[in-house]
Amino acid sequence: MNPINEVQDIWAYLRTTPLLWLMLTMLAYLVGFWCFEKMKRSPIVSPVAIAASFLGVILLITDTPYPVYFEGAQFVHFLLGPATVSLAIPLVANFPRVRRAAIPMLAALIASSATAIFAAIFIAQAMGASDEAIRSLIPKSVTTPIAMGISEQIGGLPSLTAGLVVLTGILGAIIVTPLMNHLGFRDWRARGFAVGVTSHGIGTARAFQVHEVAGVFAAVAMALNGLVTAFVVALFSQLL
């Protein structure tokens, strides 16, 4: 067998194994995190965005379907479960803080999630988006599994919603720090809560990188927004 074919054979084997895609996912994130550190942890550098673009380009170049990639990446993805559960620990540790701000949180939850939904519908409609795109856009601020369920119930495309959820998360995580600094918001609780409502887990991950208090409030916001939205939609779809 000539060596070129051997290389091709090895590649043909490796590209379908979970190992390659798991390794590249870790590597891409480490590259993203390295950029983040190099830029003195600048909030506009998003390790998730860097890693995802890097991997997306590799998938396109190598003509690898997403499900093949996910075979390997699912091991990382799975850890979202225990990581979500583990948010209980900082939450309980900061419980007096959270309870003291109960009313501001509830008010901000309602105002912010309603703004996210109605502003998106309004803009998309004004710019002539398709009906299914608008429906897919509605649950974009909620964490992925809940958002996909809602999208399906209201006649959107769950997989498009998943993409929009991620996009919203990354954008919110990048925008939040410069925006809040520019507008002069100095209360970590308000900053964290706002990014948790609009940008779910990705916003929460960013908030924990910036300040623990912001992270705790982002986690509460994410959980509340997911719970409330899921129940409101479930209630409506039962009534209809």
For the segment 111-130, give every residue that binds other proteins (CB under 8 A): 111-113, 115-117, 119-120, 123-124, 127-130
Binding-site member from 4, 89, 239, 240 for other proteins (CB under 8 A)? 89
- Determine if 17 is a binding residue for other proteins (CB under 8 A): no
Q: How far apart are CA 120 and CA 131, in angstroms?
A: 13
Residue 198 makes CB contacts below 8 A (sequence gap 6+) with: 112, 116, 141, 168, 172
Task: For the segment 184-223, give every residue that binds other proteins (CB under 8 A).
Answer: 185-191, 193-195, 197-199, 201-202, 204-206, 208-209, 211-213, 215, 221, 223
144 makes contact with other proteins (CB under 8 A)? yes
Q: Applying CB under 8 A, which part among 1-9, 10-18, 37-45, 105-113 lies near other proteins?
A: 105-113
- If binding is defined by CB under 8 A, does position 171 make contact with other proteins? yes
Region of 4-12, 37-45, 83-91 interacting with other proteins (CB under 8 A): 83-91
Residue 225 near residue 105, CB atoms below 8 Å: no
DSSP 141: T
DSSP code string of 103-118: HHHHHHHHHHHHHHHH
The helix (run of H) or strand (run of E) holding residue 119 is helix 102-126
Q: What CA–CA distance (Å, rounded) separates 147 from 168?
A: 12
**Residue span binding other proteins (CB under 8 A) among the ranges 1-9, 12-20, 37-45, 62-70:** 62-70
Residue whose CB is less far from other proteins, 7 or 88:
88
